[in-house]
Structures are given as structure tokens and as C-alpha cells.
Amino acid sequence: MSEEVTIRQVKPTDAAALLTLLKQLNQETPFLLVESSSLQLSVTEEAQQLRLLLATNNNQLFVAEFDGQLVGFIRVTASQTPEIAHIGEVGVAVLRAFWGQGLGTVLLRNILTWAQQNSLIRRLELTVQERNQRAYHLYRSLGFKVEGKAELGYFDQKAGFQTVLHLAMVQN
């Protein structure tokens, strides 16, 4: 562990490493919802998904790399439908070994800078489980506002039903 963490835009050649990261995140945190279909993609299919994402103007995926390994990511996913193309859904995750070191903050600041410079994105949305207070406070500190609360919004196999908070940030 001789290097610093690097934040950069994902590349299609990151497909295998990204799939490995998603599988590890899926195992070690109850706060991230990874659809099983995403975990079943081949490296070729994931690389194609990344090429499609990078070909759009209103989607983005940054990765955090440490010693040649992906240790976190942040993404904005937006529709290509003109009426809602200005709304980006934010998702962020960091390996447990990197929690509490400010990496989530760095990733979020990078995506917020990207969104501010993006002529299409005007609204960012995200959800967070109410029990994930560390993430909740991070989002609030960077300007996200709570817009709603969903009781029974998530089911955790170990902890049962969880309340989910809906947060958003509007950019003018």
C-alpha cells in the first residue's frame, strides 16, 4: 500500500476489476443494493455497459483506485428521455477497509463538480437507509435535502425491514 488513492473516470478496461469490486461490496455491506443481474454479467458485457455509459452526456462513473485495485466508485445514472434527462441518480460505495477515511467525501465532491459542469444535469437524487447515519450526514453536509421517507423501503435478510430516506440536490 505504497500509493495514494486515485479518483478517475472508469474505462471499459476496468470491467473485470469493477465486477470484482461490486461482488466484494455486495458481501461486506448491508447498505448497498446490487442487483444480482449486475453480478452475473461477463467481463465483456460489463465492458459494453461501460462503453454505453461513457457515450452519453448525462451519465458518469468515477472509480477510486489504490495500489492497482478498485476500492470504491460513484456513479450518476440518468435517462436519455428528454423530459427527465436532467435528473441523475447518485450511487456511491467504498470498501469497508476504506470507511472513515474521507474517500466517500472525495468521491461525492468529484461527482458534484462533474454535475455542476454538466449542462444537462440539474437535479441529483439518492436514497440512503436511515440506519446508515454516516452516509446520511455526509450527504446532508454536501447540500442534499431530505424529500421523503419510505417505511419498509428496504429488506435486509439479517436486520429486517429498513426505512429509506430520499434525498435530492437541485442545481440552477
Q: Note the pLDDT tens digit of each residue in 3-20.
A: 699 999 999 999 999 999
Confirm if 104 and 69 have CB atoms less than 8 A apart: no
Question: What pLDDT is stored for residue 32 in this prediction?
Answer: 74
Question: What pLDDT is stored for residue 51 in this prediction?
Answer: 97
Domain coordinates in residue numbering, the chain: 6-122
In which region does residue 102 sit, left (phi positive, over 0), alpha (psi from -120 to 50) or beta (all else)?
left
Rg (CA), the chain: 16
Question: What pLDDT is stored for residue 1 in this prediction?
Answer: 40
Please classify residue 89 by burial: count the beta carbons closer than 10 Å to its beta carbon, then call 0-12 exposed, 13-18 middle and 19+ buried.
middle
> Model confidence over 91-136: pLDDT tens digits?
999 999 999 999 999 999 999 999 999 999 999 999 999 999 999 9
User: Could you tell me what percent of the chain has a pLDDT over 70?
Assistant: 94
Confirm if 116 and 123 have CB atoms less than 8 A apart: no
Into which CATH architecture does domain 6-122 fall?
3-Layer(aba) Sandwich (3.40)
Confirm if 107 and 73 have CB atoms less than 8 A apart: yes
> Model confidence over 18-49: pLDDT tens digits?
999 999 998 887 777 666 556 678 999 999 99
Confirm if 5 and 103 have CB atoms less than 8 A apart: yes
Answer whether 0.75 is exceeded by the pTM.
Answer: yes
Mean pLDDT of 63-78: 96
Classify 32 as helix, strand or coil. Answer: coil
The length of the chain is: 172
Bridge partners (DSSP) of residue 168 are 125, 145
